[in-house]
Structure 1
């Protein structure tokens, strides 16, 4: 059905000066949309049959020029829609002409977002997005493309390419989530219209592989805590693991940044670097002893990971990453020596803290608060399934 674009004197509305507003009227599929031209006219100066100002109308030439220019914009957009065989309505035509998108490529917005993360000192996240950007560039060759070019077919090809490279499913899922975040940002900044959003049909959730449980039993935890290290680094790795377990599974990056200012009475009070949520945890005696063991008078930090030498955020991130590598290496070896069922990492302390509390009857809501999670749904990921013996006992209550 044809689309018509006319300028009309909108008689249904009378302004304070007793004039009527001039409107652009778009008619398509028997539906009409109106948009004010920002000018008004006395009805005696308007030819309602020809939809144009009469010869005696003041400023007639200027009004005709405005009408002509605005009408031309709509006619050109209609031609573009038809040339690209894109369906449109009167509403989308109005939006396209009056809210034109900003021209910014996928590469430009990725770079901009990574810069924002770095400016906010979220350097690890910035590195993750840089990794995704590198992957996208390796796949497509360049990203000097518009977001509207990324459709479901493009996403499926990118997914297939990653599978062919033998990337883990969770890695693929993470990259698609990063791309989705930047695409949503493009919509928010009016770089691409929501109509083009491909993630309504392409479901990223299918790329989530259930993460193997990282918790161990209380008995296995005790065997780690009682392990006698054979070197300074082994002892340090055990002490870091012990402190994390006794302080609600505090993240290694947060341990590294703890200072005397985070000790309030007999409590550890700090903000999680990842979520910025305030955590308040009572300090167990063994945790207090570990603080006393490693605290140095010439350093504000509780543990010898960072020092006054590390001033910039990048220096701190690099140092934490390096020490974490050493700690992880020694924990892995200790776990193998103790014949633990899973690879021993600092994350095991966090998951085990949550699971062992749950098995002791502590509610998920309290555990969630201790972990600093945004919701109990997140906490549930940490909670290990109960042993078969517990399930067997529970099933006996059915009859």
Structure 2
């Protein structure tokens, strides 16, 4: 049993997450455990196999598998969480800064926002396909709802919309959100809801858009599986829409969220407002979303500042 304690602790924690209805988090932990088990080339893993050297080699292994830094960080932080549980239980030795040589931070270099020209095409150019028009309409709503994540959009219930205002809690963090529905959004909602009015099961959510069936309670595993299927389908449709419109940029469901944040930044919106509109609990999270200003934008500001100082009249300096 001692030789499999790490695997046992990990599976117990995954089962606890599932029992709490946190199926998405449990899914990622399961992937991290599976990946590390494959790397260790053993059906079960012991705490003794989690060393600085093995973690360093595992980090290199994930890099060779072409995982992005943020994915590597997620796996490492999940392994660290399980290891710390073993330390707290007295079955794993405490090792100071055990994970010091692997990446557990956040890579802010890779931004998912797309250029405004591509964003305009994505949201407004006619794809000449009814199926892709529906995908485009959903993408439009996500952008118009302050970069709302797909998870929040599909889980909106009819009761969340009252007198032109959406009031709901974010799926990921539970943060309370409120969004006023613009006229353009109201038209799209009316069009999408008019075509999808599937009946929900007793005691189950009555979803606004009918993307999810409403046949399962939110904390049930079947509900999470259905959501994952809907997300894959939406991302595939976004790729088809991108190809149809000849976009140069890669597009996923998170493109709309990052692009909303970056567009707001370019329009001079304070980062505090952007952060609150996205439902972030920390401005540091918002900064990860924001794409850096292009050189032309920085040059424009630089010229304005230079001109302002150069052309300042002496009398103005005295006031």
TM-score (norm 1): 0.67
1:273 to 171, 174, 183: 171
Structure number with bigger Rg: 1
Tell me the distance in 1 between the aligned counterparts of 2:91 and 2:185. Answer: 51
Change (3 A) 1:204 1:216: closer
**In the alignment, what sits opposite 1:302?**
208
Change (3 A) 1:330 1:162: closer
Change (3 A) 1:324 1:230: farther
1:360 to 247, 267, 271: 267
**In the alignment, what sits opposite 1:155?**
55
Q: CA deviation at 1:278?
A: 0.9
Q: Which has the higher contact order (CA 8 A, sep 6+)?
A: 2
**In the alignment, what sits opposite 1:7?**
none
Give the superposed CA RMSD. 2.6
Q: Which structure has the highest strand share of the two?
A: 1
1:334 to 219, 241, 245: 241
In the alignment of these two chains, the number of paired residues is 295
Q: CA deviation at 1:253?
A: 1.6
Change (3 A) 1:375 1:337: same
Give yes or no for contact 1:215–1:355 (8 Å, CA) kept in 2: yes
Q: CA deviation at 1:189?
A: 3.9
Give yes or no for contact 2:156–2:209 (8 Å, CA) kept in 1: yes
Tell me the distance in 2 between the aligned counterparts of 1:150 and 1:298. Answer: 49
**In the alignment, what sits opposite 1:204?**
103
Tell me the distance in 2 between the aligned counterparts of 1:225 and 1:161. Answer: 39
**In the alignment, what sits opposite 1:393?**
300
Q: Which structure has the highest helix share of the two?
A: 2
2:80 to 173, 177, 180: 180
Residue ranges of structure 2 left out of the alignment (5+ in a row): 200-205, 311-319
Q: CA deviation at 1:228?
A: 2.2
Give yes or no for contact 2:76–2:104 (8 Å, CA) kept in 1: no
1:290 to 183, 188, 195: 188
Residue ranges of structure 1 left out of the alignment (5+ in a row): 1-101
Tell me the distance in 2 between the aligned counterparts of 1:216 and 1:229. Answer: 18
**In the alignment, what sits opposite 1:92?**
none
TM-score (norm 2): 0.82
Give yes or no for contact 1:294–1:302 (8 Å, CA) kept in 2: no
2:229 to 298, 322, 347: 322
